[in-house]
Amino acid sequence: MLFGVVGQSCWQIPQPMQGLTVAENMRVAQRFGGGEVDNESSAEILALVGLDTIADRDAATGLSLTEMKALEIAKALATRPRTSLGDIQPQRHRAAQVDVLDR
């Protein structure tokens, strides 16, 4: 699975930034994408991928594999891409995850 933009992508094996919470991972991604940290935008993206209620968890040790994959998508979206490409096989993902990608 590759979902991302030029310079930011996410893969089948999630790699959250060690020692940071979900919210902190989003702030780093926002900095990478444009330099501005926008907590409101970050919260909206986390809600979109279903991680808004666990934003304070450690991203590397406190998330399931499915949640880590959702975080990778959220980080890609936080960079404010003009274009995003996704290559998934919906039958392998929960309906809710596919719904997020359709938005």
Predicted pLDDT of residue 35 = 73
What is each CA distance from 59 to 25, 26, 64, 74, 76, in whole angstroms? 7, 10, 9, 12, 15
- Token pair listed for 77: 């979206």
As its CATH architecture, domain 3-102 has 3-Layer(aba) Sandwich (3.40)
pTM of the predicted structure, to 2 decimals: 0.75
Is residue 5 scored above 50 in pLDDT?
no
β pairing state of 8-10 and 85-86 = unpaired
- Residue of 100, 46, 34 whose CA lies nearest to 74: 46
Predicted pLDDT of residue 64 = 92
- Tell me the pLDDT tens digit for each residue of 42-75: 999 999 999 999 999 999 999 998 899 899 989 9
- Tell me the pLDDT tens digit for each residue of 13-49: 788 888 999 999 999 999 887 778 888 999 999 999 9
Whether residue 63 contacts residue 54, with contact meaning beta carbons closer than 8 Å, is answered with yes
